[in-house]
Chain A
């Protein structure tokens, strides 16, 4: 299933499919949001925005409108070899 990163709930993960046409795409790519890369939502701030994600092994906070640029193939489990014990908030 393909969706925007902003639609993912905390704990959900996936692989980045592509980045939309957006002025921030280049910046997002530089921050490590690359097609084919595993991505995981760690938590969403209580007002529903921003959200924090795990990418390239570090934690990045994104606004919802920034996360909308990223299209993700939702995958059930974050792969074990990439797994880091950052806990999910439910």
Chain B
């Protein structure tokens, strides 16, 4: 049987590779991960003429074969593996190299490298419309014969040339042999030795292997071993040799450029782009526009998401009510409603925020503005060990850490990406807001300061600033603990501005949603089930008898205020008798120095699921019933709470501020931990995140409480 065709999509970033991938596969695509690394693998199926189909894999964008970043490493290894593949596999393999037709010279570097590796390449000149508009004419047949590979002009936006590409894929790739480039005598000698051992003439792959033997794929470990032995016997300045080889390669490309003619005086898209840049990168205006845009995005994620989030929650509330009505009363029905459904709701409730954030990020990346953001902010971020690419995720953290951690994928340096992920949850997210509002209303008077500023508002703003500055400080400290062999570099192409392709934006949003629900979602549901068990089961038989009491009380109804109070009291005792309640009491000695009692301890335990659970738990603890309580009522109850030991109010200013600081710092969010686990592929980093933020919260609260009391 003939093996189905497998097509690798390679090319420079910004060459329209993703557009072509989306165009070829449509909805038949999936996102996975390359084994062992955090780099995403986009693969899909495309239909071919005569009813066949082919598998398509989109490699990370690279400018050159030689890898520097983790992304480039993945592309490099996959391409190198193709060289050693079995004849049957290589006969069914094609490498489509996508090039931006309007800036061909730089794009040709990768193309000649891949072609010299004797990979079965097809060159796609994408963005042919832009090349036409820029007055660039490419003699396609001449270029094709000069390169020795089929060349197809396409426009992925309109679908032009797609059928021609499919036809070209069906053709057998031409066999070609190219000389490799390096006249360095020692390199020549080493390459000849390598090739001789294999019993074949020297090839470009020998040169490449010698230059990056430590990065060769595991599947050719023996070969890598040979290369290493040789390289160690006579060490070479590989950087210099590589640079010299690249210069020679560009000289050859200059010869190819005669097939490309450029009309002088044509209307140039660069001019438009430069005009936009004059506004967007203006020393003052540029930052003002960036700030306004971030403000708008933050507001949108914060406010537009509210309604759909409430809808999702009330839908689950309705389903929960329905389930408890249908099923017989008992632990099973409660687990289904308060554990499983609540957990699912906790996952799906993030969908609006994730969609909005990735919609905005998608539009900004597609239009070319994202690299400008990095340009404007890189210096600032560099001073704390981050990167201009960290800005968007960090700002997104003000709305929600979960989608923002997912958005750090655009940071190509592993260390800077990890650092961004670690400090991101310190940005005050929207889930902290209910906790902040409740506590501020208790300890801060509703006064005006200087007649204009609302003091409560100022404290709230102070908490946001506290989070921001702590994140910066944390980055400064943590940078010393993360080791990496990659050197940090910026070198960022600033592409011409263009209208976003909505299909691409849609794909990005869809992929992020799928990734979150399928992977982080699992963890969240499991943890919420565990938390449910902890707060619904307790040691001994105390809970059972209390539950019977509660059932009896419920049967009486809650018509009178007395009955209502009785029911609330039992609910409160139930929680106190649970494992979570015991945990709260167990924690009390540890959290007493922070000014917290065991009731707050319970809230700390239960709000591990999500910070906003604090308010609900407090409502239960202060016997307000779980449904329909008023925050103002809760505030009144908390204010009148007296510590039995000291006879003073529990919620003194010291305790309140201590709690505020605790919530500003502590990582009370299982979704964040789950998503960090998903993005870093190990439990190490979520653990680090949880522990350092916990330590920060404890020390911060201790300091504030001691200082204020």
Contact = CB atoms under 8 A, between A and B. Distances in A.
A32 B379 contact: no
Interface residues of B, number: 45
Nearest to B388: A50
Given A32-B106, A63-B490, A66-B491, A89 B281 contact: yes
A81 B50 CA distance: 48
Given A45-B375, A52-B494, A63-B489, A30 B109 contact: yes
Given A26-B239, A50-B378, A58 B489 contact: no
Given A45-B378, A46-B287, A58-B106, A66 B490 contact: yes
B378 A49 contact: yes
Interface string B54-92: 000000000110101000000000000000000000000
Interface of B: 63-64, 66, 68, 103, 105-106, 109, 239-240, 242-243, 246-247, 250, 264, 268, 270-271, 273-275, 277-278, 281, 283, 286-287, 371, 374-376, 378-380, 382, 388, 487, 489-495
Given A25-B239, A49-B378, A63-B378, A30 B63 contact: yes
Contacts of B268: 84-85
Contacts, number: 122
Contact of A31 (B63, B264, B283, B494): B63
Contacts of A21: 239-240
A80 B78 CA distance: 42
A84 B264 CA distance: 10
Size bin of chain A's contact surface: 35 or more
Contacts of B242: 26, 29
Nearest to A48: B379
A85 B489 contact: no
A61 B374 contact: yes
Interface of A: 19, 21-32, 34-35, 43, 45-50, 52, 56-63, 66, 81, 84-87, 89
The main secondary structure of chain B at its interface with chain A is helix
Contact of A86 (B105, B274, B286, B493): B274
A65 to B, nearest CB: 9
A2 B274 CA distance: 28
Nearest to A35: B247
A32 B264 CA distance: 22
Nearest to A30: B64
A58 B187 CA distance: 33
Given A23-B487, A56-B103, A61-B374, 14 more contacts: A19-B243, A22-B239, A24-B489, A26-B66, A26-B240, A26-B243, A27-B68, A30-B63, A30-B109, A31-B106, A49-B382, A52-B375, A84-B270, A89-B278
Given A23-B239, A56-B105, A61 B490 contact: yes
A60 B239 contact: no
Given A60-B494, A63-B490, A49 B379 contact: yes
A8 B388 CA distance: 22
Interface centre among B103, B242, B246, B271 (most CB of A within 10 A): B246
Contacts of B246: 26, 29-30, 34
Contact of A45 (B64, B270, B379): B379
